[in-house]
A = this chain, B = another copy of it.
Amino acid sequence: MELINSLLNIQSVSGNESQMTEFLIHIVTKRQSRWKVQPEIYYGEQFHDCLLLKFGQPQTAVFSHIDTIGFTVRYENHLVPIGGPEIEHGMKLVGKDRLGPISCSVKEQDGVLLHDFPRAIDRGTLLSFEQEIITDDEFIQAAYLDNRLGIYNCLRLCEDLQDGWVVFSTYEEHGGGSMPFLLKFIQETAPIKHALISDITWITDGIHHHEGVVISMRDKLIPRKSFLNRIVSLAEKSKIPFQLEVEGQGSSDGREIQFSPYAIDWCFIGAAEDNVHTPYEKVSLKDLESMVLMYKYLLRYL
């Protein structure tokens, strides 16, 4: 929980993920001696704000995006959304510009988003949801569970991963842009055949809290059926609780794998949340645990 709390308190709106990258480098450096296998670590300007860990001889990569939705400050107190935040009147935002820290509320007026900070904010400043973490025995509720829990899942996976890439990508919430160069680097360094997307999905009519991690059979994009069949058959063998989703909307880092110049099978696997893209996203702790277990299982047997 301490790790999840730390992840939830770092700001990394799409386009400005460097703080999260630094934290992850710190965590990896601190923890890796306790991991079963020591990964090769790749980061730096050549990778912008992304981070890659290569364990052993990979056949599979796990991708977790480290950016979040948020807002860019315009002029005349206007805000422009980053990704697709749900807007509620009075919702609290935080950030920082050259004059200091910012805390303000949002309102929507004639289709325009406005902040109420008493002074002008530097143009281009990034704001994100004020964080409030609420946990009980069953649930965690906070802003940005999507995708801090996906990151958490990856760090847990590292503990006993023998062969595989663990990759932290940027810009996912705003259409992507890091996956193409990450995939190029991976395929030219230690190529993969399969990719799993460690991300958070939605509670729907067919997906319920506490019933296990979600294996998405499709969203707006469609993974290859033969790969889905293999994943589902392994999931059944694992005895770990899981649910199957079929959606017509939404997408993930899987989209950029689908359209990449590499023949890589991909599948989105993650816990489901209520209140998507609000400051109070909510995930079942049981589903999170089955997500962690399922990734450990699949990376072993895939």
Contact = CB atoms under 8 A, between A and B. Distances in A.
B175 A221 contact: yes
A255 to B, nearest CB: 9
A301 to B, nearest CB: 18
Interface in A7-25: 14-16, 18
A234 B213 CA distance: 49
A217 B72 contact: yes
Nearest to A14: B222
B177 A247 contact: no
Interface string A181-212: 10110000000010000000000011000000
B176 A124 contact: no
Interface in A222-275: 222-226, 228, 232, 244-248, 258-263, 265
Q: Copy number in this complex? A: 3
Given A15-B225, A184-B261, A218-B124, A246 B74 contact: yes
Contacts of A259: 175-177, 180
Given A16-B226, A181-B260, A123 B244 contact: yes
B16 A261 contact: no
Contact of A218 (B47, B80, B224): B80
Given A177-B258, A246-B80, A260-B181, A15 B124 contact: no
A246 B115 CA distance: 15
Contacts of A175: 221, 258-259
Contact of A246 (B75, B221, B262): B75
A4 B257 CA distance: 34
Contact of A217 (B124, B206, B223, B245): B124
A4 to B, nearest CB: 25
Contacts of A74: 206, 246-247
A234 to B, nearest CB: 15
A46 interface: yes
A168 to B, nearest CB: 14
Give the most central of A48, A171, A205, A222: most B CB within 10 Å. Answer: A222
A106 interface: no
A137 interface: no
Interface in A99-149: 123-124, 126
